[in-house]
Structure 1
Amino acid sequence: MIDLAKRRRAIALLLGLLLVALSFPSLAGAHASLTGSQPTSGATIDRAPPRVVFRFSEQVEGSFGAVRVVDERGRRVDDGHVSRVAGGSGLAVGLRGGIGRGAYTATYRVVSADGHPVSGGITFTIGRGVTATPLDVRSEAAGSSAPAGIGTALSIARAVRYLGIGGVCGLLVLLLVVWRPLRRAGRVPDPAAEPFARAAGRLLRGAALVGALGAVAALVLQTANAGGTGIGDALRSGPLGDVLGTRTGAWFALSAVAFALLAGAAGRLARATGGWLPIVGVALLALLVVAPAIGGHAAASSPSAVLIPVEIVHVAGMGSWVGGLLALLLVLPRATRALPAGSPRTALLAAVLMRFSPVALVSVAALTAAGTTLAIFQLTTLYDLTDTAYGRAILIKASLLTVAIGVAVVQRELLLPRLRRLAAGNEALAEGEQADAPATATAGGAEASAPVAAGPAAEALPAAGQAPASNAAATGRHVRTALRAELALLVAVLITTGALAGYAPPKAQTSGPASVTRDVGDLEVQLVVDPARRGPNALHLYVLDRRGQPLRRVAELRVRALPPNRGTPIDVPARVAGPGHWVAPAVPLATRGSWRISVELRRSAFDQQELELPVRVR
């Protein structure tokens, strides 16, 4: 009953941590933004163009059949052949022959370089004096969006894959860097070797299966998210093949294969003392560690040659720490229980913890250095930490890591030296040996199984609420509590990392023109600021009515640029560039940070709309 209760508490803790992922919004916003089109939005042209072209701020994938053109009745007029232009940062779709006068809507749903979907569109008219109205861009683009909850589910699947990577990485590190050298040095008693190998094999297999589940789920959800479909449609061979052709999809699939191979070889890996099998295990682990970097933000950002290695170090450091703690809590107690209570158990526990301590220290150093480097390259200003979802996720992750590091420092500087003295027969262990037999068994059991978090703890540690009979029992309880706290904090960090992968880095958001769209009343206002850097910027303002058409009747338009920190507003002289389109060619945005563009639009004496559009200036 005690084992079952503790297992239930562990499951409840894991479910609670997974709920953290739900507190993050689903994948919001696109990592690539539309920078231009041919024809331009709202244009009236004399004859049909041979194709419609969309240009974006970064490379996009258009193999999902979501680039299309329809007439005012909703009939497809494109030929379905999508081609790349502008070095991969633009897509074009050809138009069928014989297209005549009328109103047309062109929409796109593409995937940016790091696997995130982008949707939108334009309207244009062929022929002067056409009275027909094009279909609503928002309705047409929304029709190709993924069902609600797909984005959040994808973040959770990523977090599960990270948990699998962490478990596999830490277990292999503990096996190859800690346990095997101790066995070769003769510091592991023979009775403890087989129980440890058996428990390590089971846990390694479980972590690999969890990671494989997360990778497969992420692949399917990525297909649904990219193609704007449900789970059932995403399982078809066509859409899955399209996603597998992208870098993100391919690395999800490679991760699943690597996890499956590790799960199959888990038992033999746990018992291997040499030969080729550990080399294969390390190779598969290396593939898993590099997968988030090559299939995510690092490879899609600049400079990728720096960000990819840094991200790999970041994942390896986190995995070694998390998985190592998991093994200490769930595997090591199996080995200590096979030994006589007292000094033999304490000696083995002390030897393992003292050898793992430098591994954890190196992992912490790697995490700190890599995390700082990633923040420097992915953030544009310190304001990004509070003004963007990516920055706020970094703050949450850094806060959790700071607390976890504090717990680790307490354990390394206070608890481990005490444990080492106990193992040498000093301090409280001597007191425990002078006590009667039941007290000695209790103290020795506590010391031997200090890191236990679940079932084995019932037999090795004093129950909660019992007063320790010796300093040895108290030390064991403190070690156990510290290990549990570290692991819980680091699992929360991994879940946060899964959500972080769903957000666009601020630097990616500002790589090129900044684009923002807001609804106000029955209007849609689109703002493009180019190049969104400190200095003169071109400002384009598009206003569409409820049908997605350019707004033609405007009595007065006033635009002001509001600097960060409530500086002096700048009046922006916007001139008419076309129906529903205003432009200001040289707006002086002299300060980096979060600007707000204030727009006051009056259509009549009784109809006025006001709104502010946020713009990040580098």
Structure 2
Amino acid sequence: MKTIAPRLWHLVLLFLAVTGALLAGAAPSSAHAALTGSDPRQGAVVETAPRSVSLTFSEDVAMSGGAVRVLDPAGKRVDTGKVGHPRGTTYTVGLHSGLPDGTFTVAYQVVSADSHPVSGAFTFSIGAPSKTSAVLADQNAGGGVVGGLYGFARYVSYAGFVLLVGGAAFVLGCWPRGAALKPVQRVVVGGWTALTAATLALLLMRGSYTGSGKLGDVFDTTQLGQVLQTKTGAALTSRLLLLAAAALFIAVLFGAYVKRAEDGDKKEVKDLTFGLAIGGAVVAAGLAATWAMAEHASTGIQAGLAMPVDVLHLLAVAAWLGGLTTLLVALYRTPSIEETAVRRFSRVAFFSVVTLAATGLYQSWRQVGSWSALTGTTYGQLLLLKIGLVAVLVGIAWISRTWTSRLSASVVRQGTSEKKEPVAVGGGAKSAKSAQSAKPGKSGAADPTSDDVPGDTVTSDDPKRAAQLARQRAAMATARAKRARDADPHRFGLRRSVLAEAGVAVVLLAVTTVLTSTEPGRTEEEAKAATSAAQTQSGPLSLKLPFDTGGKDGKGTVLLDVDPGRTGDNEMHVYVERPNGKAFDVPEVKVALTLEARKIGPLPVVPDHIATGHWSASGVQIPVAGDWKIAVTVRTSDIDQVTVTKNAKIG
């Protein structure tokens, strides 16, 4: 049979490839808050300078000093730097007085309620549009090298949590004897180390990740102090405190617990198991809550219900995937594992999958909300990929359960309950006896009666040679035990199916990590809807205005079209017809737009004569949506003219 090293190496390569491919797409655009409106609106032309600029987002955001900057046409800052929060998800920044006419640039960089950075910019004009020399600094929040490192640290933190919680749960709930085995201990301790290191890295990089995006700012103590005052900073700090408690849990599990089990004190072992289970459950739930309180579950609808559901979801993931990893290590790195342990984990995995299905269904409804968001957004597509991977994982798990059912009690077990030392799986008595023959005697030499390494005579005068022979015999005994263990086809099949499960789990965890940094489908669609509402289109506007100047040939009708009839740039066409419907020319046609509710206007429009009875004007600016009064002045002679008006909703 092939050795485990190539398989583990392939698994590591798969891990790196999937992680790199998925995290490479984690750009700043994955933020979860969107700008849905502003005053002045994007591209608007206002007659007088506003006193402030307001921005409305799809959810609450966190703003620091300089989060919103307003630059004049020359690129000079004209905002006061103080951001207000008058209502809801609207934020304002004051402007200095005496602003010149021209185009102004508004740049913002904030942090969404679920901890992800958001940045962007838009322009508006005072009086009339103009050229602008405003230059925005690189907005690398959430991107660049720091963004990539931050995303990788998030993946490591999830993986560490899965190994720590799932490994410990596997030992306490399925395989208590595994607590004394070094390979199993390495899984749990490795999970704790990975989670602790990743959490420290996230805390240090947080300020740069949501700010400048520069690697040199990672060790800026000022930024670190600001991070500690945020919701995400509090979550990461709480996680570190809980990891200190987890370290004590690990010390007791692999120290006092193992010692009591070896001493055979069943009552103390039972009491200690109960205490570790309660304490471990509290610490595990607390660690899961540090994600729930700072990410998706903490924002949006039903946050009070979503956070405990998210905690259950994370715990189920850890119990399943972490236990699976520990089982894989046990199958490859330990001499034996009881059949009962495998069966217990099979039941744990089943209940974990049921919990995942229930909590995942709720989370999917909450984060997606519609079929169109499921198929038409990045979040929905990643969710479909995750569901597919879970289905594959469940299918492989069913194969693993089939192999488990075929294992005989004599192959996958510790041995008889009376024996203190486990018998190597598949090795039988011969393997155990061979292992004993490799042990040195009182003089430090191996037993010379053994025929494991023939042709050598060992004496007490040659201690180096005796030690060498002892190592050789031990290695040969281990190899024989391994061959006998691997000869069982049922165990071989179980190992291969569990290894396949672990490979799919690596991909699944990577997809889940990217999913948590992607804008939820419901939020994305709501943001699009809100943005669309902010630039509402009523469709091309057509008005019919009869007129009578009172002079000769002074009666007719003005037909006015505004296309596309929304805020921003529009094209206007004016047609003048006689009462019989034929087009005719008049000396002058003028149009004025007034929004009395906002005291905007009248904004004059002087269309150009195109053809008989046809005038046109392009680039007509509608700065804001509202009920506009449209006044058309028609002059039919030097002294005869009339102004006709009609109200129309635009945008």
Please say whether Structure 1 and Structure 2 have the same fold, judged by a TM-score greater than 0.5.
Answer: yes
Q: Which position in structure 2 is the counterpart of 1:393?
A: 382
Counterpart AA for 1:392:
Q
Aligned 8 A contact 2:407 2:491 in 1: no
Question: Secondary structure of the equivalent of 1:511?
Answer: helix
Q: Which position in structure 2 is the counterpart of 1:207?
A: 191
Is residue 287 from structure 1 mapped to residue 276 from structure 2 by the alignment? Answer: no
Is residue 133 from structure 1 mapped to residue 115 from structure 2 by the alignment? Answer: no
Report the CA distance between 1:109 and its aligned residue.
1.2
Q: Distance in 2 between matches of 1:34 and 1:433?
A: 65
Report the CA distance between 1:283 and its aligned residue.
2.5
Q: Distance in 1 between matches of 2:427 and 2:45?
A: 97
Aligned 8 A contact 2:26 2:517 in 1: no
Q: Distance in 2 between matches of 1:438 and 1:83?
A: 77
Report the CA distance between 1:305 and its aligned residue.
2.7
Report the CA distance between 1:123 and its aligned residue.
2.8
The one of 493, 498, 503 aligned to 2:518: 503
Aligned 8 A contact 1:378 1:506 in 2: yes
Is residue 148 from structure 1 mapped to residue 144 from structure 2 by the alignment? Answer: yes
Is residue 78 from structure 1 mapped to residue 74 from structure 2 by the alignment? Answer: no
Aligned 8 A contact 1:41 1:124 in 2: yes
Unaligned 5+ segments in structure 1 are 181-187, 338-344, 426-431, 443-455, 516-527, 541-549, 557-574, 586-618
Map Cα deviations across residues 152-196 of structure 1 (whole Å, 9 max, x no partner).
44333222111011111111211322234xxxxxxx5xxx763x2
Report the CA distance between 1:98 and its aligned residue.
5.0
Q: Which position in structure 2 is the counterpart of 1:326?
A: 325
Report the CA distance between 1:384 and its aligned residue.
2.9
Unaligned 5+ segments in structure 2 are 258-268, 416-424, 436-474, 541-566, 574-616, 628-651
Is residue 317 from structure 1 mapped to residue 316 from structure 2 by the alignment? Answer: yes
Report the CA distance between 1:214 and its aligned residue.
2.5
Correspondences of 1:94-493 after superposition (within 5 Å): 94-97=94-97, 99-101=99-101, 103-126=103-126, 128=127, 132-135=130-133, 140=136, 142-143=138-139, 145=141, 147-180=143-176, 194=180, 196=181, 198-263=182-247, 265-271=249-255, 272=257, 273=269, 274=271, 279-331=278-330, 337=335, 345=336, 348-420=337-409, 422=411, 437=430, 459=478, 473-493=488-508
Q: Distance in 2 between matches of 1:316 and 1:477?
A: 30
Map Cα deviations across residues 552-585 of structure 1 (whole Å, 9 max, x no partner).
69689xxxxxxxxxxxxxxxxxx99962769699
Aligned 8 A contact 2:44 2:622 in 1: no
Aligned 8 A contact 2:33 2:118 in 1: yes
Q: Which position in structure 1 is the counterpart of 2:440?
A: none
Report the CA distance between 1:125 and its aligned residue.
3.8
Aligned 8 A contact 2:342 2:404 in 1: no
Is residue 50 from structure 1 mapped to residue 51 from structure 2 by the alignment? Answer: yes
* Structure 1 residues 281 and 393: alpha-carbon distance in aligned structure 2, compared to 1, 3 A threshold: same
Is residue 529 from structure 1 mapped to residue 532 from structure 2 by the alignment? Answer: yes
Counterpart AA for 2:243:
F
Q: Which position in structure 2 is the counterpart of 1:607?
A: none
Q: Which position in structure 1 is the counterpart of 2:69?
A: 68
* Structure 1 residues 145 and 412: alpha-carbon distance in aligned structure 2, compared to 1, 3 A threshold: closer
* Structure 1 residues 216 and 310: alpha-carbon distance in aligned structure 2, compared to 1, 3 A threshold: same
Counterpart AA for 1:85:
P
Report the CA distance between 1:61 and its aligned residue.
1.0
Give me the TM-score of the superposition, normalised by structure 2. Answer: 0.66
Q: Distance in 2 between matches of 1:106 and 1:61?
A: 17
Aligned 8 A contact 1:47 1:100 in 2: no
Report the CA distance between 1:47 and its aligned residue.
4.6
* Structure 1 residues 164 and 50: alpha-carbon distance in aligned structure 2, compared to 1, 3 A threshold: same
Aligned 8 A contact 1:120 1:141 in 2: no
Worse overlay, 214-223 or 352-361: 214-223
Give me the TM-score of the superposition, normalised by structure 1. Answer: 0.69
Q: Which position in structure 2 is the counterpart of 1:37?
A: 38
Q: Distance in 2 between matches of 1:489 and 1:434?
A: 31
Counterpart AA for 1:324:
G
Question: Secondary structure of the equivalent of 2:104?
Answer: strand
Q: Distance in 2 between matches of 1:213 and 1:329?
A: 24
* Structure 1 residues 422 and 206: alpha-carbon distance in aligned structure 2, compared to 1, 3 A threshold: closer
Aligned 8 A contact 1:314 1:367 in 2: yes
Report the CA distance between 1:199 and its aligned residue.
4.0
Question: Secondary structure of the equivalent of 2:115?
Answer: coil
Q: Distance in 2 between matches of 1:538 and 1:240?
A: 49
Q: Distance in 2 between matches of 1:417 and 1:161?
A: 37
* Structure 1 residues 529 and 360: alpha-carbon distance in aligned structure 2, compared to 1, 3 A threshold: same
Q: Which position in structure 1 is the counterpart of 2:91?
A: 91
* Structure 1 residues 146 and 438: alpha-carbon distance in aligned structure 2, compared to 1, 3 A threshold: closer
- Higher Rg of the two aligned structures: 2
Counterpart AA for 2:296:
H
Report the CA distance between 1:132 and its aligned residue.
4.8
Worse overlay, 403-412 or 373-382: 373-382
Counterpart AA for 1:313:
L
